Chain A
Amino acid sequence: GAVVSQHPSWVICKSGTSVKIECRSLDFQATTMFWYRQFPKQSLMLMATSNEGSKATYEQGVEKDKFLINHASLTLSTLTVTSAHPEDSSFYICSAVDRVRPDSPLHFGNGTRLTVT
């Protein structure tokens, strides 16, 4: 089945540094990827929609300068948390749409646990 790989699975960084999270579709091409944030015991909150070759579309309230998204190829999207602060600590999950089967359910990565100290 379709696999989405997210890396790293967990990361600890110091306040003020930047962290890059990768989302790769391993056996399919994804023109669209979504980035979600999940707080403990809460649901997933859509942060942005990433489209290959174009700028990401951010949801209301999400700072685009803080959460930089790049979707440079059909199999890779990256989320960079810039100048991270403790309040950015969260679980980040990406998902991808199969370009060939856009009506099929989203494929999710296993998430990245970010802890900012």
Chain B
Amino acid sequence: AQSVTQLGSHVSVSEGALVLLRCNYSSSVPPYLFWYVQYPNQGLQLLLKYTTGATLVKGINGFEAEFKKSETSFHLTKPSAHMSDAAEYFCAVSDPGNQFYFGTGTSLTVIP
């Protein structure tokens, strides 16, 4: 069975500061891992994904995430936060049948 845990339902950072959103997963098979961003009243937009290969994955808008199997983690980072990064972020794991399991989300606030 798959599951996702996102530590911290709310994260606040100053503009220009490092963004770190945490995600841990459990999976009985090699996981596919994803980060999605959701703006108010909108659907989900894919930030980045890990399937196989390089464990450091770069996504859109300057975000990246590193798959650490030993820690069962897939934390999302961005070196310098921008005001436009304020949104809800979801970590997800999928199984081979493409069924997604989402974390509970982390709301990112960027303080000017």
A residues within 8 Å of B by Cβ? 4, 6, 9-10, 32, 34, 41-44, 46, 49, 91, 93, 95, 97, 102-103, 105-106, 108-111, 113
Contact A102 B98 (CB under 8 A): yes
Contact A44 B102 (CB under 8 A): yes
Known: A49-B99, A105-B34, A106-B100. A42 touches B43 (CB 8 A): no
B residues within 8 Å of A by Cβ? 34, 36, 41-46, 49, 51, 90, 94, 98-100, 102-105, 107
Q: Given the complex, which residues of B lie within 8 Å of A49, measured CB to CB?
A: 99
Looking at chain A's contact residues, is the secondary structure mostly helix, strand, loop, or mixed?
Answer: strand
Q: Given the complex, which residues of B lie within 8 Å of A97, measured CB to CB?
A: 98
Contact B90 A44 (CB under 8 A): yes
Q: Given the complex, which residues of B lie within 8 Å of A93, measured CB to CB?
A: 43-44
| Total cross-chain contacts (CB, 8 A) | 48
Contact A111 B105 (CB under 8 A): no
CB distance from B71 to the nearest CB of A (A): 22
Contact B100 A110 (CB under 8 A): no
Q: Given the complex, which residues of B lie within 8 Å of A44, measured CB to CB?
A: 44, 90, 100, 102
Contact B98 A110 (CB under 8 A): no
Q: Given the complex, which residues of B lie within 8 Å of A34, measured CB to CB?
A: 99-100
Q: Given the complex, which residues of A lie within 8 Å of B45, measured CB to CB?
A: 108
Counting chain B CB atoms within 10 Å of each CB, the highest count among A91, A97, A108 belongs to A108
Candidates B41, B43, B51; contact of A103 at CB < 8 Å: B51
Known A34-B100, A110-B42; further 17 A-B contacts with Cβ < 8 A: A4-B43, A10-B41, A32-B98, A41-B105, A41-B107, A44-B102, A49-B99, A93-B43, A93-B44, A95-B44, A102-B98, A103-B51, A105-B46, A106-B100, A108-B43, A108-B44, A111-B43
